[in-house]
Amino acid sequence: MRRFDLIILGFVTVILAAALAVISWQSIRSAENTLMPALDRKADVVARSLASLVGEAVGYGIALDEIVGGDQVLRTVLSENPEFGFAAITNAAGRIVASAQTDREGGVAPLERQMRTVTQPVVVNGATVGSIVVGIPNAVAETLLRRLWIDIAVLLLVSLLVTLELLSFAFTMPTASLLRGLARRLEALGRHDFRPHDPLGGAGPLAGEVATVDREIARVRREHAELMAQAEAAGDTDALRELQAIDRRFRLTRERTDPPINLVAVRAPVFLFFFAEEMARPFLPSYIQSFAKPIAGLSIEMVISLPIVIFMAIVALAQPTLNGITERAGRGRSLRTGALLALIGYVGTAYAWGMVPLIVFRSVTAIGLATVFVSAQGYIVDRTGAQNRARGIGLFVSGIMVAMLCGPPIGGILADRLGIAAAFLVSAAMCLAAYLCALVALSGDRPNPTAAIGGVSIRQIGSVLKRPQMLTLLVGCALPAKMLLIGFCFYYLPLSLSSAGFDPATIGRVLMLYGLAMVVVIPLVSRLSDDGGRRVSFVVVGALLSGLAIAHLYLWPAPWGAALAVLQVGIAQGLSTTPQSALVGELGARYVPSLSQGSLYGVFRFIERSGTAIGPAIVAFLWGAYGGEVAVMAIAGMVALGGALFALAAIGGSEPKPTPVATR
């Protein structure tokens, strides 16, 4: 992270935290003014109701001290009214004869000092035989608002992550990129890093400074190369050794693998767009459920899964073809078209009046999503070479990961507080923001009318899958991983948690753990698996851990079991995603050398994406036919079995040596 970003982020954190604290403080004061009188009245009504009940019992001839079950009645009252601190029945002398959440033997005086109390007499035939006392804690308003702290914390986190994305985007402006480019050069030289930077162009004093620094770096590198040549020609091993030491320290012969600075521009629209889609994760299945009506031959679970399955199938099937189409039309223009399509889809979904319109509008959104994904990926691929493509794609993938982290909790909060339709409209607004960002930053791209519109052929899929190692990697690991992600995490869990009475905000916080785990684990694993050449192990361990994740559902109460399961799936898939992607290239080069890397990855993405459509369909089918437990166990079993089969297949052939893979 750049120093400037840190400064701004630090300021924004303090400003937002302080402002939210002030708003919460005022809310507590307002709540006290409104809630305390309301609570007093409620306590009064409850006390009168209890007094009437107790009076009735005493009227039947039961002495107040002999009433059986008084404690239980009061406990029920407190469980129905959690705002109350205690409730007690006292006799005419003021001694407690029944109470909840207090000492039976003690008096009410100590409690009355700690809390406000409401007292109602128990009157029988005109005589007061006892009292009902209900206690209200003084800090009830703070307690009510304290429950909000998780939502406020999530809000703060998401605001900061969005701020960071927008700062990066703002720095893609011509002047800003010169400023940042110069700062980047300065920081690199401060770290003794003499690798050359991409030229920035432009005019003015800043551009002049950038060009001078670049020329200085080029001069030093040129002089180093000349000295190396002279030392080699002279056979001066001491000089060569010294020059190599200088090179190691100042990186004088190495190249920079950073993606060009203008590529950062594509990240903001991608982030905003995927943020919009991820927002719907916590409530989409229950929203579909509200439209679902039985269809002959299909269980209700299958009916609910239909829009999700169709959405994912469109994304999977459209992607291979869309690559050529977006190249022909221009990546930036295609991205903007995709954002507009999704905008229409979200508005339509918000106002859908039945299952069929819902499916139609979700399908429109799916086409938009596939178009944006392929256009953004293509934009990066078109502007990077083999050396910096992995970093460029990393920029794009990390934008999606951050969106996966931010979207579900905010979507859940919005759906919970403003309603699902409003949350979809916010998604539409985010698409509009993504469109505007793309319009500003990606306006200069050129269409390529001669680009080939390809796709993935059956022959290519067949040639890849006939090798056991490739079959078990793609169908055994990649496919079930996506099946588990969409089928279990994004279909089964939101629906089952919603049925169990959890609100969308809670479901959103559960689902955000997947994005959180991926954001943290993927960068660590990329390096570890590359350095140690342990990609097969990472893929197998990832698959086994993913499969075992569902055990949390049966070990812990909801929603903690679901949260731990999602977190473990996130960690497990974080472990396996990057090594799996790298292994496709390596194993493919060994076992299917006739296929280009592009075609190989096309087959991989197609099979992997198919899992996103097959997963919810299989879970829904099994759920309807045999119950939810069978469904999740079956899908988890498939993931673990696939990993085990891949391990066996990999043992059959030796593990390939690690090599850099562009599409990682």
Partner 1 sequence: MQRLALVLILALAPVVVAALALGAYLNYGSIRQSYLDMVGSRLDTVARRVASDAETALSLGLPLAGQQTLARLLERERAADSLILSIDVVDPANKILHSSDPDRIGTTETPDASVSEDHSVAIRNAFETVEGQVVVRASKPGLDRTLAEMARPIWQTAIVAIVVALILSALAVILGLRLLRARVTQTEAAADGLVPRGSRAAIVEVDAAHRAIADRLAGSRAV
For the CB of residue 339, give the shortest distance to partner 1 in the complex, in Å.
Answer: 17
Question: Of 68, 62, 70, which Cα lies nearest the Cα of 133?
Answer: 70
Contact status, residue 266 vs residue 380, Cβ threshold 8 Å: yes
Residue 307 CB, shortest distance to partner 1, in Å, is: 28
- Sites for partner 1 among residues 364-423 (CB under 8 A): 413-414, 417-418
Residue from 236, 258, 586, 655 touching partner 1 (CB under 8 A): that is 236
Whether residue 428 contacts residue 517, with contact meaning beta carbons closer than 8 Å, is answered with: no
At its nearest, how many Å lie between partner 1 and the CB of residue 214?
Answer: 10
Looking at the DSSP assignment, which residues form a beta bridge with residue 135? Answer: 86, 117
Q: Is 29 in the site for partner 1 (CB under 8 A)?
A: yes
Q: Where are the alpha helices (DSSP H) in 484-596?
A: 493-499, 504-532, 535-548, 551-555, 560-591
Of 270-299, binders to partner 1 (CB under 8 A) are none
Rounded to whole angstroms, the Cα distance separating 152 from 324 reads 44
Verify binding: residue 231, partner 1, rule CB under 8 A.
yes
Q: Which of 38, 127, 139, 524 binds partner 1 (CB under 8 A)?
A: 38
Nearer to partner 1, 204 or 462 (CB): 204
C-beta of 11 vs 560, nearer to partner 1: 11
Amino acid found at 286: S
Can residue 634 be called a binding residue for partner 1 (CB under 8 A)? no
| Residue 325: closest CA among 309, 338, 316 | 338
Only one of the segments 124-132, 217-225, 362-370, 570-578 lies at the binding site for partner 1 (rule: CB under 8 A); that segment is 217-225
Residue 451: both structure tokens together: 């680009």
Among 73, 145, 298, 519, binds partner 1 (CB under 8 A): 145
Q: Which residues within the stretch 154-213 sit at the binding site for partner 1 (CB under 8 A)?
A: 155-156, 158-159, 162-163, 166-167, 169-170, 173, 175-176, 179, 182-183, 185-186, 189-190, 192, 194, 205-206, 208-209, 211-213
224 lines the binding site for partner 1 (CB under 8 A): yes
Q: Taking CB under 8 A as the rule, does residue 457 contact partner 1? A: no
Contact assessment for residue 443 and residue 335, using Cβ atoms and an 8 Å cutoff: no
Size of site (CB under 8 A) for partner 1: 91
Q: Write out the binding residues for partner 1, residues 497-516 only, by CB under 8 A.
A: none
The nearest distance, CB 286 to partner 1, in angstroms, is 19
Q: Kindly state whether residue 124 participates in binding partner 1, applying the rule CB under 8 A.
A: no
Q: What is the smallest separation between the CB atom of 550 and partner 1, expressed in angstroms?
A: 32
Closest distance to partner 1 from the beta carbon of 132 (Å):
13
Unique residue bearing structure tokens 């990390």: 398
Cα–Cα nearest to 285, from 507, 506, 480, 479:
507
* Pairwise CA distance, residues 430 & 272, whole Å: 6
> Would residue 89 be called left, alpha or beta, if left means φ above 0 and alpha means ψ between -120 and 50 degrees?
beta
Per CB under 8 A, contacts with partner 1 among 252-271 are 252
State yes or no: residue 92 binds partner 1 (CB under 8 A).
no
Q: Given candidates 7, 295, 524, 651, which one binds partner 1 under the rule CB under 8 A?
A: 7
CB of residue 28 to partner 1, shortest distance in Å? 9
The span from the CA of 182 to the CA of 175, in Å, is: 11
232 binds partner 1 (CB under 8 A): no
Pairing relation of β-strands 96-100 and 127-137? Answer: unpaired
Angle at 649 between CA 644 and CA 654, to 5 degrees: 120
Q: ∠ CA 352-357-362 to the nearest 5 degrees?
A: 85
> Least Å distance between CB 86 and partner 1?
17
Given the complex with partner 1, which of 31 and 520 has the nearer CB atom? 31
Contact flag: residue 81 with partner 1 (CB under 8 A): yes
Reference 55, options 103, 114, 126; nearest CA is 126
Q: How far is CA 67 from CA 138, 140, 193, in A?
A: 31, 31, 85
